[in-house]
Structure 1
């Protein structure tokens, strides 16, 4: 399947597939499967909020309505909505890559982010960081702060378990406000699981269950951390987490 790219002209989305790439101010992407997305309204809200933060003064509601209508209702896709540095609003309709349930991590040697709370501007730098991790035989890089504490992944967020308590990095670990983390956190709380925020270095996570969360793959179990901590696996809990997350997919027309 071809990648399609549309640009909003103020009244409709126009096909500009093949046009030159433009640096981003904001981007948001999600897994679209048979016309369903997990947390679709949250993705649109995050995009609108980020666009306002980046200085866009005109509303994006009509653009987002057009996006909802244009997105395919069959097949599996990984669309992205963009605000470019020229102020243009765009939609990419991209076939989804292979979806995976497991992931191997490696610790990044640097933090290249310049806008850590926004998704979009740092995508090229984070892509390069991920490529360095892949050169080590990993799937994703884990960004740590100056004290060596876990902040985020280059394309994923991390959640781990300390006994029966789920843990995520604290709010002061500045990162993109993940829709997937929000959904999983709410599901865990609804099921009676304690959830807390806590700093941790990779070594603090030795023999812990670690999960990588993002909008493409949902919940993945970390099976290895290259030159990092040994990880524990809990197939029963992993299956339950994935099943709970799958329940969040809903028709985009009803989101």
Structure 2
């Protein structure tokens, strides 16, 4: 039976122990830097059939993010054990697992860390099936290329998403304000398909996508040609199909890009199956 409540396990960042936390009770203090400054990192992981998909890539990126922000090195065994305990508590069905690691309270200097699992939202499930309408937007901020961190500071991204929804779109693809090159989705990686070629935008400010990496590794084993490439909007419009791939939404086909409608390709089901298989292997 699928749990309808979140499952939370607290991870002690230094001791390595884990403990169950009642989701109806508070966890974060008023002076936690996650709240006051968005100072921390996170990873979102798909839970499917009792399995954390693509876990090794997520764990590697989590450690990279922690190092970039100067957080103590995560004790990965603790995070993985907490994830497995949360999966057992969560039960059957798909879930969104989030690893959250904050710099912690200003008054103690001790990091705050926890693992949570919640059901996949109906909105996400619908976008998987129906695709998404995407607004193009220049991105006015970026991390330096030497800091490829997945941080909690998502305020600007969320503001852009709210604007997109007010204008009748479901999501956003960011472009470089200087040269117009395509960067990434608000919470996803852009992937194009044209014949047997899969491409994803190249730019040193783009956070490497774990789902895209898993997809390319699997697709290459199936005979597809995959690589990063500098991409502009015209390239997206000329592709057979454009996808936003991410950990829990997995894949959503772009069916409208700005004012342009993108037709469903003949091989839509094949591409969906390819991406699903990549996540199963992860």
- TM-score bin, normalised by smaller chain: 0.7 to 0.9
- Return closer, same or farther for 1:118/1:234 CA change in 2, 3 Å cut-off: same
Return 5+ residue gaps in structure 2 as ranges: 29-33, 105-110
1:158 to 166, 171, 190: 190
Provide the residue aligned with 1:38 in structure 2.
53
Q: Is 1:241–2:271 an aligned residue pair? A: yes
- In 1, distance between residues paired with 2:45 and 2:156? 20
Distance 1:198 1:12, change over 3 A: closer
**Aligned with 2:134: secondary structure?**
strand
Q: What is aligned with 1:221?
A: 253
Question: Which stretch has the larger CA shift, 151-160 or 94-103?
Answer: 94-103
Is residue 91 of structure 1 aligned with residue 115 of structure 2? yes
2:212 to 168, 181, 187: 181
Q: Is the 8 A contact 1:151 1:173 kept in 2?
A: no
Matches within 5 A, 1:91-130: 91-98=115-122, 99=125, 100-101=128-129, 102-114=131-143, 117-130=148-161
Equivalent position SS for 1:108: strand
Residues 6 and 128 from structure 1, CA distance in 2 versus in 1: closer, same or farther, beyond 3 angstroms?
A: farther
In 2, the alpha carbon distance for the partners of 1:201 and 1:218 equals 23
Preserved CA contact (<8 Å) 2:9 2:82: no
Q: Give the superposition deviation at 1:106.
A: 0.5
Q: 1:239 to 1:5 in 2, by over 3 A?
A: same
TM-score normalised per structure 1: 0.86
- Alignment length (residue pairs): 249
Q: Secondary structure, in 3 states, of the residue corresponding to 1:31?
A: strand
Give 1:75 shift.
2.4
Aligned-residue CA RMSD (Å): 2.4
Identify unmatched segments of 5+ residues in structure 1.
Answer: none
> Deviations 1:138-162 (Å, cap 9, x if unpaired)?
1111111121110001011111134
**TM superposition score normalised by structure 2:** 0.78
The 1-side partners of 2:167 and 2:120 are apart by: 24
Superposed CA deviations along residues 13-35 of structure 1, whole A, max 9, x for unmatched, are: 34163334633421000221231
Q: What is the SS of the residue equivalent to 1:160? A: strand
Moved more, 114-123 or 93-102: 114-123
Question: 1:183 & 1:77 partners in 2: Cα distance?
Answer: 19
Change (3 A) 1:121 1:240: same
Distance 1:59 1:230, change over 3 A: closer
Quick check: 2:135–2:257 contact (8 Å CA) kept in 1? yes
- Please say if 1:63 is aligned against 2:92: no
